[in-house]
Amino acid sequence: MDSPVRRLTLPASAGSISTFSEFVRDGAIAAGVAEDELGKLDLVLEEILINVARYAYTPETGAVEVAYAQAGPSKLLVEIADFGRIFNPLAADPPDLSRGLADRQIGGLGVFLVRSMVDSIDYRREADRNILSFIFPIDGSPAGG
């Protein structure tokens, strides 16, 4: 990470999402992310944090740490870490987007949206922590399309 790393730890719950979002928005704005791209950043954070609260910790609860730093001139690196059970949301099968209304599955769209909005995303298990790290594009267009 090129700039100082900022970190925030809060309970893994839906109620923490808006505070995490404000926290990372500060870094995104300072790094030059356009105002109309901030909603995508909110969405990426929400989808990941909801997964942590729902799958890594349920039924118990725990803490989640969000850290970010500017990584190079046009990228924001964000890492989300929890101490829950081993859970890699990126391992899930992609949703079938070709199905009609009656057969459309209701789950699985969150991770799909996350992948669509970031340049890259990786999962690793390190020292009893699940760590998801993603690169959010500052110029507004994910390299992967």
Partner 1 sequence: MNIEATELEKAVLIKVTGRMDAENAHEFDQACDRWITNGTKHLIADLDGLQYVSSMGLRSFLSVAQKLQSASGSLILCGLHGLPRQVFEMTRLIGVFPVFETSQQALATL
User: Which positions lie near partner 1, rule CB under 8 A?
Assistant: 14-15, 17, 36, 39-40, 42-43, 46-47, 50, 95, 97-98, 100-102, 104, 106-107, 109-110, 112-113, 116
CB 24 within 8 A of CB 68: yes
What contacts 106, CB < 8 A, 6 or more positions away?
A: none
- Strands of 50-128, DSSP E: 63-70, 75-82, 120-126
Cα(137)–Cα(124) distance, rounded to whole angstroms?
21
Question: CA–CA separation, 113 vs 38, rounded Å?
Answer: 15
- In the bound state with partner 1, the residue whose beta carbon lies nearer, of 69 and 80, is 80
Q: Least distance from C-beta 94 to partner 1, angstroms?
A: 11
CA 17 to chain centre: 11
Nearer to partner 1 by Cβ, of 3 and 139: the residue is 139
Q: How far is the CB of 66 from partner 1 (least distance, A)?
A: 16
Min dist. Cβ of residue 83 to partner 1 (A): 21
Measured from the CB of residue 17, what is the shortest distance to partner 1 in angstroms?
Answer: 7
Nearer to partner 1, 36 or 126 (CB): 36
* Residue among 15 and 73 whose Cβ is closer to partner 1: 15
**Phi and psi at residue 54, to the nearest 5°:** -85, -40
